[in-house]
Amino acid sequence: MVLLAPLLLTLAALWAACAVAARTGGHEGPRGVAERGVLFFALLVAPPWALGWLGAFTPVALALGSAATSALTALAATGGQPARLRAAARDAGALLAAPFRGPVELARRGAWLGAAAWALTLLVAGWVALLTWLAPSTSWDGMWYHDTMVGFAVQHRGFAWVDLPQDGMQVVNGYPRLVESLAAFFVVLGDDRWIELPALLFWPLLGAALADLAGNFTDWREGRVLFAVLMLTMPGVALELRSTYVDIPIAFLLVVALASLTRPRLGLRDLWIAALATGLLAGAKSTAAVIVPLLFALALVRLRPLTREEGRRVLGPLLAGGVLVAAFAAPLYLRNALRTGNPFWPLTLESSLLGLEFEGPIEVVVAWPPVDVWLREMYGAPMQGMYHPDVRPHGYGHALPFLLPPLLLFALPAGLRALARGSRRARAGLALAAATAGLVLATREVMWWGRFGAVPVAAVLALLVGWMAAPRHRPWARRLLALAVAVHAATLVWAEPGWGYGVEEARRLATMSPAMRSAYRVGELFPEPATLARLEREVGRGDVVAFAGNVGFLSLAWNHRMDNRVERVRGSGAELLEELEAMDARWLVTSTRDWRGRGVERDPRWERVGLMAVGMVGYARRSEGEARGRVEAGAGAGAEARAEPEAGAGAQARAGAGAGAGAEAEAEAEAGTGAGAGAGAGAGAGAEAEAGTGAQASAQAEAEAEAEAGAGAPAEAEAGAQAEAEAEAEAGAGAPAEAGGRRAGDAEGDRP
């Protein structure tokens, strides 16, 4: 069931997408693959998206809803005719086989460099697919909020508003979640081994969309393949594959929209595909708030020739695009506005132009680094240890920054000449260049960051491929593009931490149970993996894991099936313990800076297990027998401590009595001298008795001091918790607690 249900429903959505494409006159080649990909995306994500907002995000509802959507769509597209249904199934099979046939066909035509580049993507996809199934999600923003969105969607059976600290954790409530709803769909029907599937699923479709985009400006097949592979293997793109980051599906939607709207000869079908892609994009990313208007503006500019041919028919896709944007974006932004007064919650946004001001706990502070730092991170030597999913230094790789500037200088005169001749491709290229400039302007603060600038760079490179396709340029161009692909391949092989797990780790994971795989997290963020393993053993379906304050990577509080509950506690001291008792919490998770956890640790019913991640500590409830034993042991230790001074006093008294008896015996033998000796012995016994009494008083004072310290600790913990709560309320950065050094000063993650 864990394997079959998500797989079968995914294939059903692909079959329905192929049926719709055949009914509407779908194209062949990369263009046809991209079109089917958008239809597939919509059919796969629409049921979980709708059920999530309706609060019906259950396994049965999701399975039935997805199956019914695909089946009804396929029947409507084919008219229920068996021959057409079988044709759609064959088309889906051909689509699945295309990645494997492609390099063989290129090799037969003598395009060996293109074939080798294509084969590289198969190796990457195969390795990442294995790691996606075996290894747990360990990406920074994933554990911070992408995975947390998934966990709460599963827990609350929908997209309910969650009780979270008023800081960076509020992105879980306020950010778009279209791709996360797809990940949650896979998890509900399986477990967390499917949580990273969306990125891998849409990576090859992104390749087809890139080849389609370049196809607007050239028919050179090998060049288009090399270009697509070059962008797919760019570190800022490829390293996101084993993560829950959403940039790959979003890049796919954006590239499809751009490719559809920049056809040399724009058609009505292109408008419909662009409308669908734009609508999906609106619900997937917060930056869509500025990207979607740009796409509509591009469509309006490109409509003029089509309007003369199609007349009012062009209004259909425009209106449909508006409806889709509202359907996928309005629920979230409307809820944000109703609950907080800020539709873009939790971001703080100001616009003097529009006279708008929205306040939230996060201020957008992402900006370009200093010039010297930017130059070093763009053109300097590799920086091992920095090649993680949201790689920033060298996110564009070690080839593109050197190739693009000179190629642009050489290609610009030819482009201007083509534009002067008024060719259709030149006008389409101008439209793409203008749209790219708009994208760069709208997202200029993050263009230095590879994963955010990948699509604008791809658009520029697509135009350059059109220039390089000239017969006199092809010999050197294919070698140059192949060399750049080789550089990217070398980077992916040797970069650290890369995809996080190597061959040996994969072998070890293959021998583990799913629960232990989920706990097997490697890297500097996880100094005590045994803590996560114990949580997997102890926390089952319906069990409560409580959290206090901003713990950073809250997604670690779920087990691998994500079927336990994660609930917030607000109190401190005795009140916190009462909250934990009331909700029957099995575990408590706090920040290492939170005094409330230390207060819980002193309670005999709880024990500190260890670090779940850097800055994040877990506490487990002891069994009743263990807790009773701890109480009895504590009571026994106290009684023993009290008995020690009493025993000391008694021994000293007996010693004094013995000394007195000896003095009397001596007095009988020596009358005069014995009297003085007896007096001296009596004085000695009195001194020893005083010493014994003093020791007892000292022990009692020490015990009282310990009791006072124990009583004072909860008060100190309560004061610390109150200060921490105040700090949480005032926090603006919203970074996960205790960054662990890797991303110091980076509070925003996937915020832009």
pLDDT at 727: 41
Q: What is the pLDDT of residue 694?
A: 39
CATH architecture of 524-624: 3-Layer(aba) Sandwich (3.40)
Average pLDDT of the residues in 446-475: 96
Question: Is the pLDDT score of 735 beyond 60?
Answer: no
What is the distance between the alpha carbons of residues 143 and 505, in angstroms, rounded to a whole number? Answer: 20
What's the distance, CA 576 to chain centroid? 30
Q: Which residues contact 394 (CB under 8 A, 6 or more apart)?
A: 235, 377, 378, 382, 383, 386, 387, 450, 491
Which pLDDT tens digit goes with each residue over 648-669? 544 444 444 444 444 343 434 3
- Asked whether the beta carbons of 21 and 36 are under 8 A apart, the reply is yes
Tens of pLDDT, residue by residue over 307-361, are 777 778 889 999 999 999 999 999 999 999 999 999 999 999 887 777 788 999 9
- What's the pLDDT tens digit per position in 390-415? 899 999 999 999 999 999 999 999 99
pLDDT at site 656: 44
Pick the more confident residue, 732 or 37.
37
Give yes or no for a cis peptide into 176 (omega within 30° of 0): no
Look at residue 729 in the predicted model and tell me its pLDDT. 40
Range 499-510 average pLDDT: 95
For residue 159, what are its two tokens? 């997209």
Task: At 565, give phi and psi (nearest 5°).
Answer: -115, 140
Residue 191: CB atoms within 10 Å: 18
pLDDT for residue 364: 72
Say what percent of the chain tops pLDDT 70: 83
Token pair 């892609």 is found at 277
pLDDT on residue 410: 95
Q: In the structure, what pLDDT confidence band is assigned to residue 725 with cuts at 50, 70 and 90?
A: very low
Considering only 23-37, 235-249, 571-585, 703-717, which range has the smallest mean pLDDT? 703-717
pLDDT at 721: 41
| pLDDT value at 367 more than 50 | yes
Please identify which residue in the block is written with the tokens 């370009």. Answer: 368
Residue 642: per-residue pLDDT: 56
- CB-based contacts of 168, cutoff 8 Å, min separation 6: 144, 346, 361, 362, 550, 731, 733, 734, 735, 736, 747
pLDDT of residue 355: 75
Tens digit of each residue's pLDDT (9 = 90 or more) over 115-150: 999 999 999 999 999 999 999 999 999 999 999 999
Q: What is the pLDDT of residue 626?
A: 74
Q: What is the pLDDT of residue 696?
A: 37
- pLDDT given at position 1: 57
Phi-psi region of 98 (alpha: psi -120 to 50; beta: other; left: phi over 0): alpha
What confidence score (pLDDT) does residue 484 get?
A: 98
What is the pLDDT of the chain when averaged over all its residues? Answer: 86
C-alpha torsion sign, points 735, 741, 744, 749: negative
pLDDT mean over 529-534: 96
Domain ranges of the chain: 201-480, 524-624, 628-730
Hey, is 536 helix, strand or coil? Answer: helix
Task: Give 578-631 pLDDT, tens digit per residue.
Answer: 999 999 999 999 999 998 988 899 999 999 999 999 999 999 999 877 766 666
The pLDDT value given to residue 357:
87
Q: With cut-offs at 50, 70 and 90, classify the pLDDT of residue 688.
A: very low
Please check the confidence at residue 682 and state whether its pLDDT lies above 50.
no
For residue 54, pLDDT over 80 is answered with: yes
CA-to-CA distance for 306 and 296, rounded, in angstroms?
Answer: 15
